[in-house]
Chain A
Amino acid sequence: MLVALRQGWRLLKRHKKAIVFYYLANLLVASLVLVPFVTAFEDSLGQGDYRETQVERLDNDWYQLLRHRAGSLLGTFSPSVTGLGPFARNLDRLLDGRLGDLPAELVGLGVLYLLINSFLTAAALGSAAVDPRGCSMREFLRTGGEFFGRFLRLGLLSLAAVGAVWLVLLGPLQSWTRDLADAAAVDRTAQLWRWAGLAAAGLLLGFVNLVFDYAKAITAASDRSSVLLASLSALFFCITYLVPATGLYVLLSVLGVAWILAAVSLESLIPQASGWGILTAFLLLQLTMVGRLTLRFWFYTAQLRFYVRNEGLYRPEEEEEKEEPVAPASLPVIQE
C-alpha cells in the first residue's frame, strides 16, 4: 500500500502536466457562470453604503434580501461558501442524493466537467500507464484521444452504477433509516439513525468510486477494450484486495481532509478587508484546489501502481530514472 503510494507519487511527478490540465479545466468550467453571478451579486449591493460595508463581513439584512430576490444562481450564495462550507455543502448533497437539485446552470456545468474529465483522466492515466517516465504534450493529448471513448463509457457506467446503488440499496436504506429516525423515542437516537444512513451512503458511493477508479486503471494498464469487463475485473480486484485497496483509498482520503483543514485554517488567518488580502486568500484557495486535484491524480497513479504490482505487470526498470523508456511487454507500444 505504502509502496503503491510512493510509486504513485513518483508517477504523478513525471506527469505533472496532467495536474495543470485538471486545474485549468476546473477553473475554466467553473468560470463559465462567473459573469452572471458577478452581475447579480453587484446588483444586490445597490448604489449605496452596502457596496462598501460588505467587504470584510456580511450583513444579515443584505443577505436575507439577496436570498429573497436572488435567481437560482445567486441563490446558491450563502455565508457557508467560506471555511469548511464548500466541502460540507457538496458532501451533504452527494450523500443525500441532491446534486441534481442544483440550479440547471450548475448541473450543466457538472455534466460538461464530467465529459472534460473523462478526456483528461484518459490522457493522464493512459500516459502514466503507457509511459511511466513521462510524455510530451502531444503524447498526452493523443493518449487522451485514444482512451477517451472507453473512459467516457466508464464514466457513464459509473453513473449508472451510482444510480443503481441508489435505486436498489441506498434509497431503501436511507428511507429505512429515516423511518427509524422518525420512530425514535429520543432525538439523539434519531440523529444516530440519520448518520447511519449517510454513513452507508458514504461507504457505498466510496466503494463504487473505488471500483471505477480501478476500472480506469485496468483499462489504461491492460488496454482493455470492454469497459464492462474492465469494471467487473475491477470489482473482483477490489474484493480480492479489499483491505489494502480500501486502505490506500482511505489513506489518501485522510490526506485530502488534512489538506483541506490546513488550507481552511490558513485562509481564516488572512485579513480580507483590502484588495491584497482578497487576492492572497483567492490564491490560497486556488492552491487548495490544485492540491485537491493533485490528490485525485495521486489516487489514480497510486491505484494504477497498486494494480500493476498485484497483477504482475510491474517492471522495476520503469522506476529507474536513468534507463531509457521501455514499454512493458503487456502494454501497448505507441508508434510515433
Chain B
Amino acid sequence: MNPASIDRAAAPLLLLAALTGAAGAQHQLPLHQAPPELGIANYAIDATLDPGSKLIRGEEEILWRNRTEYATSELWFHLYLNAFRDDRSTFARGVEGNPWGLPGPVPDEYRGWVEISSLEVLQGGEAVPDAILSRSFAQPDDGNPDDRTVLKVELANPVPPGGNIRLKVVFESRLPRGVARTGWVQDYFFGAQWFPKLGVFEQGRWNCHQYHAFTEYYADFGLYDVRLTVPGGWVVGGSGPSGQRNNGDGTTTYRFQQEKIHDFAWVASPRFDIRNVRVVAPTLPEVDVRLLILPEHRHLGNRYLRAVRESLRRFGEWFGPYPYPMFTLVDPAYRSDTGGMEYPAFVTAGASWLSPEASLTLESIAAHEVAHQWWYAVVASNEFEEAWLDEGLASWSESLLLQTAYPPIRYVEEFLGGVPLVFDHLDISLETINLPNVRRAGARDRMSRPSWQSLDGLSYVTNTYSKPELTLWTLQRLLGEEEMLRVLRTYFDRFAFRHPRTEDFIGVVSEVAGRDMQWFFDETFGSSELLDYAIAEAGSTRLGGETDTAETYRTEVLVRRLEGARLPVEVLLEFEDGSEVSTVWDGGDRWKKFVYDRPSRLRRAAVDPGRKLLLDLDPVNNSWVRREEEGHSPATLRWTSKWLFWVQNLLETFAFLG
C-alpha cells in the first residue's frame, strides 16, 4: 500500500490530520478540539464507486457546529439524487416530458437515488442510542408528498447555540444517466449532490430547499476530507488537492482535503488526460491548476488553460485573491449534461470538437465557471433564493474578462452539421449580448424572485443570468469601471466565506458610490419592468413671417418612455450651428416634450446619447437625425444587395431539384 501523497496541504488540514490520525485511520473529527477554521458543516466521507452498477457506497461523518443564536432539535439534509428517482419528484414535475428528453418511458438504468441505511449521533466515537427521534421527508417548497429530496431528522436533544453534533451516515447512491449536472455516460462518472448534505441553519430555521428543475445549491462552509475508491487506472478529480493510493486489489483510493468549501463534487474516468500548470501572478498566491481533458479534445487544452490562467489572474487582481491552493477544470463528456457547472475549487466547462476560437464559447464557459469561485464558492450567496446574485455577477465577470483579455467576439454560424463559418461584418458587444433574452423574457419574472418560481426555462435563464448581467453592465456605466471594481472588491472582501443577500450587495454599492443606490435596484432587480426610451417626434419649424431677417426656429422633441422601468436619462439635442443642449429627464412620466426657440434647426436628438442605460431594449429608437435627402440609406443598399445575392443562389438551389 502506497502512502497517501497530498499535493498541497494548508495548515488547518495538517492540524485536522493530526487530530484525526493518519491517513489510513478511521475518519473522526474531534468535536471539542476542532479548530475554528473547520467551519460549520464538516464532512469526512469514505466512498466507493462501482461503475458497473453505477452505485456509490459510502460512509460519512459529519461534524456540524451551530454558530447561530438559536437552538435546534432538527437537522435537514439534501438528498438530491432522489430528484431522479421517478417521475413524481418535484424536479421531474418541473421538466417537460422527462429530464433526459427521452420520447418514451425512462429505462431504470437512467434513474438515480440516494438512500440512507443508517444515521447515528456519535459521542466519543460511539453511537448514542435513541438520539434520533424520527426521520421523514420534507417538502418545504411545494408540499409534494412524492418528493424525497429533503430529509428532516428530529433529534432527542437539541443542539444549543454554539454547540456541536457529530453524525455518522451510511448511504448508498446511484448515479443517474447524465442529467442536470450529475451522472454517468459510458465510462465517465460525475458525482454532484451525491452524498447526504446538510442544509443551512440560519435565523432559527433550516434553509433547505427541495431540488427543482431551475435551482442550484446552498450550503455551509466546512472542511471536506473525502476518500473515493475507483477501479485502478481511473483518473479522479474533485474539490481540492488530492493524493492517491493503490489498494493492491485493482482499485485506487483518491483522497481530497479542502477547507472552507461548501460542497464537494468529483469526476472519474479512465479516459482523462491530465495537464497541470501553476498560475503565478506578482501580487497573488500561486495556484496549481489541473485540467482533466478528454483525448478527443486534446487540441483544445491550451485554450482551456489560457482561459483559466487569465481568469484566475484577472479576477484575483480585480476582486481579491483566489483562496484555495488548487483549481481543477474538467472537460465534460459528450451528452453527459454535466458541463458548465461550478463547485468549490472544481468546475466543468464544455466544448465541442470543432469549437471555433472566434466565438469564444469555450473561453466564456470556462471564465464563467472560474468567476463562480468568487461569486458562489467564496461569496456564497443563496443560489435557491437569489440566484441572480452569483449567476449575474459570474456572467458579468466572464464578459469583463473576455472583453479585457481576448480579441472581440466574432459572429459564427454553423453549417453542414456543425462546420463553423465566421462572418466578420457584425460587431458584437459583450456588454449587450444579453439584450435579446431580456427582450423576450425579461418581463416574465423579477430578478429577485426565487429561481424555482420562474415562469419557465427561458425566464429562469433570462432573469438569473441575462438580465442581471445586463443590469450590472448598466450599473457599471453609471458608476464607471473603476468604481464598479471597487464595489466588487469590497463585496468580496466583506462577504468572503459568508452568505450575503441582495441587500448586502446593494449596501456595498451605495457605500462605495457614496450615495443611496436603492432606486436603481428597485427599478431593476426588484421589478419585472423593462426599459425603453425613444425619440418619438423631433423637428424644427421656422418662427415668424417669411420677411423676418433674423431666423428663429422652434424645436420640439418628444421623448417617450415606452416600458415601465424608470431610470434618469440624458437627452441631448444638437443643432445645425454646432450648439448642443443636454438635459437629464427623470423618466417619471410616460413622456416629456422639450421645446427650444433657437437660431438654428435641430440636427440630431438623442436620448441616452452615451448609451449608459444598456437595459434599454431598443437602441434604434434612441436617436433622430435630420435628413436633407429622401431615399434609401446606403446601409439598405449594401445589405439588400447581399441578401438579393443569397436569394438568387437560393433559386439556383431550387433549380437543382428540377
Asked if A87 contacts B639 (CB within 8 A), the reply is: no
Asked if B296 contacts A48 (CB within 8 A), the reply is: no
Query: B614 — nearest CB in chain A belongs to which residue?
Result: A61
Query: B413 — nearest CB in chain A belongs to which residue?
Result: A80
Query: Is A242 interfacial (CB 8 A cutoff)?
Result: no
What residues of B have a CB within 8 angstroms of the CB of A236 in the complex? none
Query: Is A41 interfacial (CB 8 A cutoff)?
Result: yes
What residues of A have a CB within 8 angstroms of the CB of B654 in the complex? 99, 109-111, 113-114
A89 to B623, CA, bound (A): 34
A87 to B652, CA, bound (A): 10
What residues of B have a CB within 8 angstroms of the CB of A209 in the complex? 656-657
What residues of A have a CB within 8 angstroms of the CB of B593 in the complex? none
Stretch from B210-218, B420-428, B546-554 forming part of the interface with A: B420-428
Query: Is A33 interfacial (CB 8 A cutoff)?
Result: yes
A38-B636, A62-B620, A191-B353 given; A182·B655 CB < 8 A: no
A42-B636, A113-B655, A186-B294 given; A33·B647 CB < 8 A: yes
Stretch from A24-32, A140-148, A218-226 forming part of the interface with B: A24-32
Query: Is B579 interfacial (CB 8 A cutoff)?
Result: no
Query: Is B564 interfacial (CB 8 A cutoff)?
Result: no
Query: A282 — nearest CB in chain B belongs to which residue?
Result: B641
Query: Is B354 interfacial (CB 8 A cutoff)?
Result: yes
**Chain A facing B: main interface SS:** helix
Asked if A278 contacts B425 (CB within 8 A), the reply is: no
A102 to B653, CA, bound (A): 13
What residues of B have a CB within 8 angstroms of the CB of A285 in the complex? 641-642, 645
Within 8 A of B (CB), among A45-86: 45-55, 57-65, 67-68, 76-86
What residues of B have a CB within 8 angstroms of the CB of A80 in the complex? 411, 413, 421, 423
Query: Is B637 interfacial (CB 8 A cutoff)?
Result: yes
Q: From B433, B625, B633, B638, give the contact of A60 (CB < 8 A).
A: B433
Asked if A83 contacts B421 (CB within 8 A), the reply is: yes
A42 to B425, CA, bound (A): 18
Query: Is B650 interfacial (CB 8 A cutoff)?
Result: yes
- Interface size in chain B (residues, C-beta < 8 A): 69
Query: Is B11 interfacial (CB 8 A cutoff)?
Result: no
What residues of A have a CB within 8 angstroms of the CB of B656 in the complex? 94, 205, 209
Asked if B413 contacts A195 (CB within 8 A), the reply is: no
Asked if B632 contacts A42 (CB within 8 A), the reply is: yes
Q: From B411, B423, B625, B652, give the contact of A52 (CB < 8 A).
A: B625
Q: From A29, A64, A114, give the contact of B435 (CB < 8 A).
A: A64
Query: Is A257 interfacial (CB 8 A cutoff)?
Result: no
Q: From A51, A90, A155, give the contact of B658 (CB < 8 A).
A: A155
Query: Is B124 interfacial (CB 8 A cutoff)?
Result: no
Asked if B653 contacts A90 (CB within 8 A), the reply is: yes
A68-B439, A88-B421 given; A38·B648 CB < 8 A: no
Query: Is A8 interfacial (CB 8 A cutoff)?
Result: no
Asked if B658 contacts A198 (CB within 8 A), the reply is: no
Q: From A31, A46, A156, A282, give the contact of B620 (CB < 8 A).
A: A46
Asked if A114 contacts B413 (CB within 8 A), the reply is: no
Give, as a whole number of angstroms, the nearest-CB distance from A250 to chain B: 15
Query: Is B644 interfacial (CB 8 A cutoff)?
Result: yes
A323 to B647, CA, bound (A): 43
Query: Is A37 interfacial (CB 8 A cutoff)?
Result: yes
What residues of A have a CB within 8 angstroms of the CB of B334 in the complex? 184-187, 190
Query: A58 — nearest CB in chain B belongs to which residue?
Result: B426
With most chain A CB atoms within 10 A of its CB, the pick from B353, B417, B646 is B417
Give, as a whole number of angstroms, the nearest-CB distance from B607 to chain A: 10
What residues of B have a CB within 8 angstroms of the CB of A54 in the complex? 633, 635, 639
A48 to B415, CA, bound (A): 35
Asked if B635 contacts A45 (CB within 8 A), the reply is: yes
Query: A208 — nearest CB in chain B belongs to which residue?
Result: B657
A60-B429, A99-B654, A162-B657 given; A79·B606 CB < 8 A: no
Query: Is A7 interfacial (CB 8 A cutoff)?
Result: no
Q: From A41, A102, A156, give the contact of B639 (CB < 8 A).
A: A41
Interface string of B593-625 (1 = CB under 8 A from A): 000000000001010000000000011111111
Give, as a whole number of angstroms, the nearest-CB distance from A119 to chain B: 12
Asked if A278 contacts B435 (CB within 8 A), the reply is: no
Asked if B649 contacts A292 (CB within 8 A), the reply is: yes
Nearest 8 A-B pairs (CB), nearest first? A48-B623, A110-B654, A194-B417, A155-B658, A54-B635, A86-B646, A46-B620, A90-B653
Interface residues of B (CB under 8 A from A): 185-186, 294, 296, 333-335, 352-354, 411, 413, 415-419, 421, 423, 425-429, 432-433, 435-436, 439-440, 535, 604, 606, 618-625, 627, 632-658
Name 23 interchain pairs, CB-CB below 8 A, sorted by A.
Answer: A34-B644, A37-B640, A46-B623, A47-B535, A49-B625, A50-B623, A64-B435, A68-B439, A81-B646, A83-B423, A85-B646, A90-B653, A91-B415, A94-B656, A114-B655, A117-B655, A118-B658, A182-B335, A186-B353, A198-B416, A281-B641, A282-B641, A285-B641
Interface residues of A (CB under 8 A from B): 26-27, 29-31, 33-34, 37-38, 41-42, 44-55, 57-65, 67-68, 76-95, 99, 102, 106, 109-111, 113-114, 117-118, 155-156, 158-159, 162, 182, 184-188, 190-191, 194-195, 197-198, 205, 209, 272, 274-275, 278, 281-282, 285-286, 288-289, 292-293, 296
